[in-house]
Amino acid sequence: MLEVFASQALPHSLGLLYEDVTQHLGFLRSSDEYKVMALASYGTPRYLDELRRSVYTTGDGGFHTDPVDWASLVKPRAASEPWTADHADLAASVQRRLEEVLLELVEDMSRRSGGDVLSLAGGVALNCVANTRIAAETRYRSVWVQPAAGDSGTALGGALQVARDMGDITAPMPGADLGRSWSDDEIEAWLTTARVPYSRPADVADAAAECLSDNGIVAWFQGRSEYGPRALGHRSLLAHPGHPANLERLNDVKGREQFRPVAPMVRSERAAEIFSRGPLPSPYMLFVHDVAPHWRDRIAAVVHVDGTARVQTVDSDAEPLVARMLERFEHRTGLPVVINTSLNTAGRPMVDDPRDALECFGSAPVDLLAIGPFVVRRPATP
């Protein structure tokens, strides 16, 4: 039966604390917290002592988040203003204190429960930097975070526990591709209706790899749409990681801030030679990993300023089409990694259906749309 070791009453909330600093730094609260995590890598945690006095564990499995006078630390940033070193330092300080408190809470939970497997959910569980420290620095042998671990995702664990207690048979989550899909005929009907020139190559994975090896950007629309905030090889923008300028290029395509990183996609069997510290395999892009020094220049576009990358590993049995695209790209370039970011532009939800994909392709400087077994290419400029 389910046993509750500790609970935390509002207003004390690590998530709300992070929301507060997100808003103070000029981003949209309850939406842009991941931007604070990215910005933190550019700063130093010089406000950490002040935050330690306001945010602390209580020794009984709980914590306090006393009100923080953010303006006394750093002037608030308007959304239209550029960020400064002070803003980055505040982000770094809040991120570091979040990690410290989570480590204390997790260690307390480990002592109370005696278990060695930890599952995380909730908005704070999307903080992949903190997740990696939990996996690397606590006694848990396995840390699992489900792909839609935001606030709505906390209900899944409770529902599964009740189901098991009542005798239902539950099974591990097979993947994040739990949404809608379209048949080849349905996709072709959309292409015909849109009156766009398209073709059906012998192998769409090879066609995408060829475009990527020529430094093109590929919109990748395959199979079912994905559950959660990450693009994991079903609704993705793909690019060559060996050209450092592709970070800025993709951020321009998506209308994002230039301090934000993009992520590497790699087959599971190749991951360990390039990435370390974070758990492998890592199919849901919810941990960060240190990039091996001799690989950093080779895949520079996916290496964040602190030498890490938020990796997605690809299982060849579970995702044969994506794995084949990666294999064909490596055959052409010698690189087993491809940039993977979500198929959308700023302020728009991730692409779901073929119409969304065609609209995104039509409005963004993308070179090739790989949609089902078909490809749509950007017309050559005269």
pLDDT tens series, the chain, 382 aa: 567 778 888 899 999 999 999 999 999 999 899 999 999 999 999 999 999 999 999 999 899 999 999 999 999 999 999 999 999 999 999 999 999 999 999 999 988 888 899 989 889 999 999 999 999 999 999 999 988 888 777 777 778 888 988 999 888 888 899 999 999 999 999 999 999 999 999 999 999 999 999 999 999 999 999 988 889 999 999 999 999 999 999 999 888 899 999 999 999 999 999 999 999 999 999 999 999 999 999 999 999 999 999 999 999 999 999 999 999 999 999 999 999 999 988 778 899 999 999 999 988 899 999 999 999 998 765 5
Helical ranges in the chain per DSSP H: 14-24, 33-40, 48-54, 70-73, 85-113, 128-137, 154-165, 184-194, 204-213, 245-254, 268-271, 293-296, 320-333, 354-363
Nearest to 91 by CA among 138, 145, 129: 129
In this structure, which topology does domain 184-377 adopt according to CATH? DHBP synthase (3.90.870)
Asked if residue 268 lies in contact with residue 314, where contact means CB atoms within 8 angstroms, the answer is yes
Domain boundaries, the chain: 14-165, 184-377
Asked if residue 349 lies in contact with residue 320, where contact means CB atoms within 8 angstroms, the answer is no
Distance of CA 291 to the CA centre of its chain: 16
- Topology match between the domains 14-165 and 184-377: no
Asked if residue 279 lies in contact with residue 143, where contact means CB atoms within 8 angstroms, the answer is yes
Distance of CA 82 to the CA centre of its chain: 24
**What pairing do the DSSP bridges indicate for beta strands 235-239 and 218-221?**
antiparallel
Question: Is the CATH number of domain 14-165 1.10.287.3510?
Answer: no
Collapsed DSSP state (helix, strand, coil) of residue 138: coil
